[in-house]
Structure 1
Amino acid sequence: MTTISPQGGSELRIVILGNDEENKVVKSVLNCEKLTGVEVGLCTLHQGEQTGRKISVVEAPGWDRLRPDRIKEEIVRSVSLCPPGPHALLLVIPVKTTSGDPSVGEINASEMHMRLLSERVWKHTIVVFACDDGVDHQTIQKHIHSAEKILEKCGRRSHVLQKSTCEPPSQIHDLLKKIYSLVKQNHGGFFIPQAYYELIQQKTQEASETELRKRRGSMDSPPSYNKDTGDSEKKESVETPKPSEDKPKITMDFKTISLILFFAFGAVLGAVAGSESGVSGACSGLVFGVVLAVLLASFIVYIYTHIYSSAYPKQPTQSSS
């Protein structure tokens, strides 16, 4: 037979639930008459080996032996004792020689108790009709007909267990083959207890919301495709001359030219004004014009030094690297 464990191993995990006859089914699955198991709460964990594969079987207590307030607790416990979850759940419905017609209340109770594990449980369920010795075919068919609603829920997967003692190997293999077929049909999947299932859903939803927020953020702030923008701006800030850097040079050239023009203008003006008195008057006028030009130039230099330079401070020159 092929490997059935979803992790690629060889372990088969089974939980047996019902109102009675669970112990008979455990013996059949493990192919042994004397069982040794570990009790956890009111559940019992059995382990064995079949066809070279390890089998873990959890036997849940019969519903008729539990107080109503303990039923859900023990049912939930049973599916948690074979982590990460059972591959198959066997729902046992007893078929007794003294029972006659099947009890409708018992069938309804089976459906109600299985529903405590959520509707997902039916995907992994096989109904086992555990018969006493001597039960006729007609009685078995009546029980199967009464369980029609449950059979519809679990895909009509069922097995009739007719002996009270361990079955021959061929009969045991029939039940195991149906379990293997169920696991194959579920692609190696197993039933996840509701608490773990809700946690997985919560984590999946949180991961989806985080991914959605990231996508929305990338749409609101699209990436810049101009990789050289920063370098270009930096280069431009270094190489582009600022208007204020050229002002001191232009102003200095203007100062020199102004002084020369003032000297020449003062000398000419003084000479012209003193020429009416002859040569001596022209010389005196020339000297007077030069002195006046010097005073006027000094006044201009004072204005430049104390007013213009403070209004336009000289910018430091950047050295090229």
Structure 2
Amino acid sequence: MAAKSPQGGSSVQSELRIVILGNAGDDKNKVVKSILNRKNLTGVKVGQCTLHQRDPAGRRISVVEAPGWDRTSKQQSPENIKEEVERSVSLCPPGPHALLLVIGVETLSEEPSTNEITAAQTHMELLSECVWKHTILLFACDEGVEDTQIKKYICSAEKILDKCGGQYYVLQKSAQNHELLKKIDDLVEENGGDFFTPQAELIKLKTQEASGESELRQRRGSIADPPDLNKDKGDSVEKKETTEADKSVEDISKICMEFKKIGLIIVLILMGIVGALIGAVAGAEYGVLGSCIGLVLGIIVGIILASITKCMYTHIYSRSLKKPTDSSVNSG
């Protein structure tokens, strides 16, 4: 539920949840004191994080102070510190309205190195890229720090400022807690009262991973069960063998028919010769002339008989070929 700020500014949440992050040092503790407007803190340890709560003017403010990370490299931070950074946002359920990334501005120090800025960015992104929408870059200054030095720090952190949409705040005195809270409330209002939901981001990440694994399983399945090329090949070979067998039978049938035709011609010739011999022998009783006439008549009779035989054979042979064809048609 939102209400009007006492300063007459933007509307504020009846409950405000904040997570403080940064490298190792006392700067984060200074920020917590400023937000809660207390010199002495009595937080509750949860792992290596510390949970602070206060209810000023009926408004509950929860602040989680995460353990500091290595100043120059994410790789040099112990794994348990990385895990605590990831867990810190779950200690103020359902999620923090704002995350304050603290960079300490010390009196005698120069602007932060590129490694320090990169380390801060990579540690923040342990929480996902969406964290920048809820992040304010906070420069916690020592007493007596000059404005020129603060400007150098702001310029050095340009890369992170681009990530969090230019949201930053310079904390120089602990008495600035009203101004800092107003800066946080402005960010919450800009986000429409929304807060960072680590569980939703985790679900989204797991969904993407599951989708990727499902797609990978489908690809593996297609590789593991390729088309049965051997089966197609077997069908092709079988079809080819059947065709060749049919062709061989057809060739044999043609050869048999040719032999039968030749045999029929030989039979005709033999019958003609036999008829001629019979005619010649029968006409020999009448002399040479009778023998010649008998030879001619024998040839003619032999040819006639051979023709009759050929017709009968052709008719019978044709019927024997036609019957299987007819039966096959009727069965179809």
- The TM-score bracket by the shorter chain reads 0.5 to 0.7
Q: 2:89 matched to 1:79?
A: yes
SS at match of 1:63: coil
| Residue-by-residue CA offset, 1:186-237 (whole Å, 9 max, x unaligned) | 11110011x443436878xx9xxxxxxxxxxxxxxxxxxxxxxxxxxxxxxx
Show structure 2 runs of 5+ residues with no match: 5-11, 211-332
Q: Are the aligned partners of 1:131 and 1:161 in contact in 2 as well (CA < 8 Å)?
A: yes
Distance in 1, matches of 2:206 and 2:122, equals: 27
Aligned residues: 196
After superposition, residues 164-183 of structure 1 pair within 5 angstroms as: 166-167=174-175, 171-183=176-188
| Residue-by-residue CA offset, 1:75-118 (whole Å, 9 max, x unaligned) | 11110100110000000000001212322221111011011111
Distance in 1, matches of 2:154 and 2:13, equals: 35
Q: Which residue of 1 aligns with 2:190?
A: 185
Distance in 1, matches of 2:137 and 2:13, equals: 26
Cα 1:78–1:160, aligned 2, differ >3 Å: closer, same or farther? same
Q: Which amino acid aligns with 1:178?
A: K
Q: Which amino acid aligns with 1:44?
A: T
Tell me how large the CA RMSD over aligned residues is: 2.6
* Pairing partner for 2:172 from 142, 162, 165: 162
Q: Which residue of 2 aligns with 1:272?
A: none
Question: Alignment identity in percent?
Answer: 62
After superposition, residues 128-207 of structure 1 pair within 5 angstroms as: 128-163=138-173, 166-167=174-175, 171-193=176-198, 195-199=199-203
SS at match of 1:57: strand
* Pairing partner for 1:25 from 25, 31, 56: 31
Distance in 2, matches of 1:50 and 1:92, equals: 24
Cα 1:51–1:158, aligned 2, differ >3 Å: closer, same or farther? farther
Runs of 4 or more off by more than 6 Å in structure 1?
A: 200-203
TM-score, normalisation: structure 2: 0.55
Show structure 1 runs of 5+ residues with no match: 207-321
Distance in 1, matches of 2:156 and 2:111, equals: 9
Q: Are the aligned partners of 1:128 and 1:161 in contact in 2 as well (CA < 8 Å)?
A: yes
Superposition deviation, residue 9 in structure 1: 6.7
Distance in 1, matches of 2:111 and 2:178, equals: 30
Q: 2:71 matched to 1:61?
A: no
Cα 1:152–1:51, aligned 2, differ >3 Å: closer, same or farther? farther
| Residue-by-residue CA offset, 1:146-196 (whole Å, 9 max, x unaligned) | 000101111111110113xx31xxx21111111111111111110011x44
SS at match of 1:36: coil
